[in-house]
A = this chain, B = another copy of it.
């Protein structure tokens, strides 16, 4: 433990396998476009057999956020469960190489390290197919209390409600964090994930287990079962301290009980691959928040990081974000 940390991120530790695909392919293979589709080992084998040539890169939503914060120069830790196999070694390498403190004990055997087959369609949208593998073993015993206590913000992904025991880990982390005057943040992850765990997510917010919530507009609407963004915004404002709602090319909204900030998106040359956009928005926002920036600037830094990652293939920015931020003048 080499804290203090600005942010501790907790999530499903997943290696991404990324390939291009046509729209037709998604239809034929019954993949829900733009979503995270959970798959089992047999389906993973099938999809890999019909997948085009691919690129492998460490991913996982909160893992991408952790890597992004570290790239900005933030002090970052990560909890996530890989296995003792080659993909797990790659994952561990990539985290540590960017300076993220990552000491979660890997699984000794099966199941193998998680992987997500991501199909990027010509419009730049990504459709994920995730085999959770070793992530199903993340539990409360993986919560290093000293790291939680030493982290200004503990951030986790809603996707952690899919594996069986991770929610216990998060509740334990929240208790420790709040006992030390720290804050908890989460992302709603995916509209279908919100559908699966709506009541529990609302309870996390209303019980004060979570203080800061990240969502895109589809997830925010799904949470409150409304088609009207304003309704969702008004509701989420009452349910947490800070909510950051991303709207793709329309920018983002940041709301607290007293404030509303409407921030434009940064113009880009070409949308190459939207993988990691929300994760990097959260990275920029949390970096700003833990470095004394006002909320509107946090949202701008989030948008900056997102604009970087969607102009490349893969979820972790090739650029050094501290340089990008310095050049941006934000």
Q: Interface on A for B, CB 8 Å cutoff?
A: 19-20, 48, 51-58, 67, 85-87, 90, 93-95, 97-98, 312-314, 316, 318
Contact = CB atoms under 8 A, between A and B. Distances in A.
Nearest to A316: B53
Contacts of A93: 48, 51, 53-54
A107 to B, nearest CB: 15
By Cβ-Cβ distance, the 9 closest A-B pairs, closest first, are A56-B56, A53-B94, A86-B86, A53-B97, A53-B98, A52-B97, A55-B57, A55-B55, A51-B97
Contact of A53 (B19, B54, B58, B312): B58
A310 to B, nearest CB: 15
20 contacts: A19-B97, A20-B318, A48-B93, A51-B93, A51-B97, A52-B97, A53-B58, A53-B93, A53-B94, A54-B90, A54-B93, A54-B97, A55-B55, A55-B56, A55-B57, A56-B57, A56-B90, A86-B86, A312-B313, A313-B313
A204 to B, nearest CB: 31
Contacts of A19: 97
A282 B90 CA distance: 31
A275 to B, nearest CB: 12
A157 B37 CA distance: 41
Given A86-B86, A87-B86, A94 B20 contact: no
Say whether chain A's binding surface is mostly helix, strand, loop, or mixed. Answer: mixed
A214 to B, nearest CB: 23
A20 to B, nearest CB: 7
A14 B312 CA distance: 24
Contacts of A86: 85-87
A267 B318 CA distance: 23
A58 to B, nearest CB: 7
A86 B97 CA distance: 22
B20 A54 contact: no
Most chain B beta-carbon neighbours within 10 Å: one of A57, A98, A314: A57
A109 to B, nearest CB: 15
A14 to B, nearest CB: 14
A313 B312 CA distance: 9
Contacts of A51: 93, 97
A19 B94 CA distance: 10
A171 to B, nearest CB: 31
A41 to B, nearest CB: 14
A183 to B, nearest CB: 27
Nearest to A319: B20
Contacts of A52: 97-98
Contacts of A314: 55
Contacts of A316: 53
A54 B57 CA distance: 7
Nearest to A49: B93
A70 to B, nearest CB: 9
- Which one of A51, A52, A56, A314 has the greatest number of beta carbons of chain B within 10 Å? A56
Contacts of A97: 19, 51-54
